[in-house]
Amino acid sequence: MDIFPEYRDDDLCADCGGKCCMVYGPSQNLTRQKLHEDERHLYGGGHYLGYGVEPLSEKIHPHACEYLGLSGCLISWEMRPPICKNFRCGLWRDLNNDRQKRTGSRHLPVVKGKVTMG
């Protein structure tokens, strides 16, 4: 049983460009140890040996995760740390809240190419 629910919207995330992946900056202030060396999942992180890909040799931004490339995360969805799959940005929450108000549903619709949960 997963402790963290998973949220995913490939289109929304692609349009954004990965702002939530600026994990080493002041607002999130994660460390590599918490995010990519968390073998026991104490912080909701994962372990880099299980990702199946190497990090970028040079990050795209000083605050960016070392697995964030110009076209998104290098780690396949299934292998990403739980905290990454659980995160919902403000735009995601706003879209979900708008849907709730219009339809009374707590969930965004499942659309081909997207897996969503609310």
Domain ranges of the chain: 10-103
Q: Mean pLDDT for the chain?
A: 81
pLDDT at 48: 94
pLDDT tens digits for 75-103? 999 999 988 888 888 887 787 777 777 77
Question: Rounded CA gap, 61 and 71, in Å?
Answer: 14
DSSP 101: H
Question: Rounded CA gap, 117 and 56, in Å?
Answer: 30
Question: Rounded CA gap, 65 and 4, in Å?
Answer: 20
Question: Rounded CA gap, 59 and 74, in Å?
Answer: 12
Which one is predicted more confidently, 35 or 116?
35
69 backbone dihedrals φ, ψ, rounded to 5°:
-100, 180
Range among 69-73, 85-89, 111-115 rated most confident: 69-73
15: number of Cβ within 10 Å: 9
Name the pLDDT band for 25 (thresholds 50, 70, 90): confident
Average pLDDT for 49-62 = 94
pLDDT at 115: 43
75: number of Cβ within 10 Å: 21
Residues linked to residue 72 through DSSP beta bridges, in sequence order: 69
DSSP string of 45-75, one letter each residue: --BGGGSSSPPPSS-SSTTS-TTEETTEESS
Please indicate, yes or no, whether the overall pTM of this predicted structure exceeds 0.85: no
Range among 6-10, 97-101, 106-110 rated most confident: 6-10
Tokens representing residue 62 in the block: 């000083």
- Flag whether pLDDT at 114 surpasses 70: no
pLDDT at 73: 92
